[in-house]
Structure 1
């Protein structure tokens, strides 16, 4: 089989207009390039998100087909993508007929693609949002065995993958903590100046970066919240900046609605020109308060103090703070978040991500590069996973499913097969 030495396929939700998701392939591309690998991003629908600096993507079908995109390895994640839930609630996928299966396709499908291509597979510290059933664990176990390197971003995810414990699943900080390696703060200064000019904000303005997602304000009196945010900002001598980082989660609409309640002069970033512009806004703010993990990570990475609003309390929030030793930055609601934020000191200039966390990411990327440099490792486990998946599919769908590729179109569209015997008249 022809391979393009040094090309790695990166699997994730990289075709959606969500800030954090779109950063993963950029950070990974730089780290992989340092190890001598090229990067090609894979997403359910393929195409390119609506940012000029986002990587273009190929679709899951292309990942499965070595003739369309040769590769030396496949890298899963990051993001909250290790699950088997339907993504039909996202129009971007439901309209293309992908929603029911593409969530699993990004990681289980990536594992199958690695087995079919006989190339190494590694995990880039994705997250696991919910438990798997006992039935699903029967296939999850060989999927984990098939990977040369498995990492997740928090202890909660590791427990959900392996409830009985698995010493070979590594827990590392979210890879977006590496962002200043990609875009040093000094290089973002011009982007920030352009943003202030574009929004008619005086250059001396100190900004309070706020991120509100619908789940974080569900059931809350938004008018009262807007007043609380306005009064907090005024008391701190800050100007509110509403950073809508997740278009696919309706963040711009939420920000516009809240702006009516705040009512004070503010910077509305519901139309970012690039991922760099969002990063520059977070890196040069005075304080961050919000429900976006990657908004918080970006701010902290550039030395901007922040508070995470964990509503609901996903494992990913406390998980990242455990890596940085800052559990005090977690709030259960907006009132608590503002009380905590009032005690935060202004940005210090240095990163709030400790050196130990960056060292852990250095080891993480070294393990990933090592996995792709050893293509023969785990080959037997990859094939064992493919056989387990095949057996499971035949058991669930019946023998007709396995014979479909051999039949012509008319035969595939014929009468259903029941119990292994086709129903037809004598």
Structure 2
């Protein structure tokens, strides 16, 4: 048997944000299934979040060093809202909570160019955008993007906007997960495919048994950022929802990283609702999060991957604050049947949640499961396509017959 080929899965897997942690698991499981590939999980730094069910990471520099002698290496940015993630956010996530906001402000104090230079030196990552890599700086690497997101690229500063465009045009393949991101790449003239978020495959990796005798519950999630000045109004809506449906509210922690921590607002909601109406699920463990959502009657929240988890297990979803959380509302509008999801501002939580639970029966669940299976098929085909592109690509130092220069990408239709 020939030696296995190392593949690099690169992304923000060194911090506790539920969705990011799923991408590495999905990609590693899928690519290693046939025994041909071995996936190295890389991020900005070494980490071990295995206590949460995540995969340990190595710094990207170490992953590049480990694969440099291969004739060619596939480097996959495995998912997430990565196209618009800037250095101040990535560095901030790696720092203690107390200095998260000072780091976020640093580019405005010392200048964006200087902050980018320092970040690149600190992490040894050869890109002005931390999760958007181009091939000119990585000879022999075939860089591909697996159903990623990146809304509002066109509104970024010219320095950031131009770096995104330059690096995306300098890679082997791009796929994006929603129409908003697709429209942004059309503006840039970047060729790409529209493919569902790969986390939809988690129901294959973590199958769940739902006891029909159990009454079930409603999952609610909100990030600290979006909860500000809304807690009392949310508590009133969740109280009404509990009264209308008779279902307790599971207040679910999905993120624990700086900038993603959910614990404080959910703890406040628990104190307002009391034990009779609500309970906390705050371990942060991936399988606990999946089990809580998969066995529920409804998911309502601001987390995209909370909603995608619900979708994967055929649970109806509500996108909370859809005008503010664009990546969430855009994804559901792109892929999910209207009768299986809702879009709610805070005053609408109880009404929309009650209606969804009342109308979502066996036929709607069967339809949603069929939609999910079709989405999974597209995700698998996308992953297979990347492998085919890797197989067809020349090794280091080689050129295809008509390749003197890398051709300009053509905008997707």
- TM-score w.r.t. the length of structure 1 is 0.75
Change (3 A) 1:181 1:225: same
Measured in 2, the distance between the counterparts of 1:162 and 1:380 equals 28
3-state SS of paired residue (1:247)? coil
Q: 258, 270, 286: which is aligned to 2:282?
A: 270
Match of 2:378 in 1: 360
Q: 306, 312, 315: which is aligned to 1:304?
A: 315
Match of 1:27 in 2: 26
Q: Cα distance, 1:230 vs. partner?
A: 1.9
Change (3 A) 1:163 1:206: same
3-state SS of paired residue (2:148)? coil
3-state SS of paired residue (1:73)? strand
Measured in 1, the distance between the counterparts of 2:234 and 2:83 equals 33
Measured in 1, the distance between the counterparts of 2:84 and 2:251 equals 30
Match of 1:195 in 2: none
Q: 371-380 or 139-148, which moves further after superposition?
A: 371-380
Q: 124, 143, 146: which is aligned to 2:146?
A: 124
Contact between 1:154 and 1:319, CA under 8 Å: does it hold in 2? Answer: yes
Match of 1:231 in 2: 240
Change (3 A) 1:334 1:30: same
3-state SS of paired residue (2:196)? coil
Q: 319-328 or 283-292, which moves further after superposition?
A: 319-328
Q: Cα distance, 1:40 vs. partner?
A: 1.4
Q: Cα distance, 1:316 vs. partner?
A: 4.1
Measured in 2, the distance between the counterparts of 1:296 and 1:9 equals 27
Contact between 1:313 and 1:332, CA under 8 Å: does it hold in 2? Answer: no
3-state SS of paired residue (1:343)? helix
Q: Cα distance, 1:362 vs. partner?
A: 2.4
Alignment of 1:375-394 (within 5 A): 375-376=393-394
Change (3 A) 1:356 1:230: same
Q: Cα distance, 1:361 vs. partner?
A: 1.3
Measured in 2, the distance between the counterparts of 1:305 and 1:84 equals 29
3-state SS of paired residue (1:123)? strand
3-state SS of paired residue (1:90)? helix
Change (3 A) 1:147 1:4: farther
Contact between 1:317 and 1:330, CA under 8 Å: does it hold in 2? Answer: no
Measured in 2, the distance between the counterparts of 1:329 and 1:287 equals 9
Q: Cα distance, 1:242 vs. partner?
A: 0.5
Measured in 1, the distance between the counterparts of 2:183 and 2:327 equals 11
Change (3 A) 1:239 1:48: same
How many residues are matched? 365
Q: What is the CA RMSD across the aligned residues, in angstroms? A: 3.4
Q: 20-29 or 154-163, which moves further after superposition?
A: 154-163
Measured in 2, the distance between the counterparts of 1:374 and 1:5 equals 17
3-state SS of paired residue (1:250)? coil
Contact between 1:206 and 1:237, CA under 8 Å: does it hold in 2? Answer: no
Match of 1:416 in 2: none
Match of 1:292 in 2: 303
Provide, for residues 260-306 of structure 1, a one-character-per-residue CA deviation record: whole Å limited to 9, x for no partner: 1112432211124x311211111111111111111111112111112
3-state SS of paired residue (1:331)? strand
Provide, for residues 100-155 of structure 1, a one-character-per-residue CA deviation record: whole Å limited to 9, x for no partner: 456955433x435x853402121111111332444545444442233222101112
Change (3 A) 1:365 1:326: farther
Match of 1:182 in 2: 205
Match of 2:77 in 1: 76
- 1:153 corresponds to 2:177: yes
Q: Tell me, which stretches of 5 or more residues in structure 2 are unaligned?
A: 104-114, 407-413
Q: 366-375 or 12-21, which moves further after superposition?
A: 366-375
Alignment of 1:168-207 (within 5 A): 168-186=191-209, 204-207=214-217
Measured in 2, the distance between the counterparts of 1:29 and 1:347 equals 35
Measured in 2, the distance between the counterparts of 1:277 and 1:185 equals 11
3-state SS of paired residue (2:141)? coil
- 1:241 corresponds to 2:250: yes
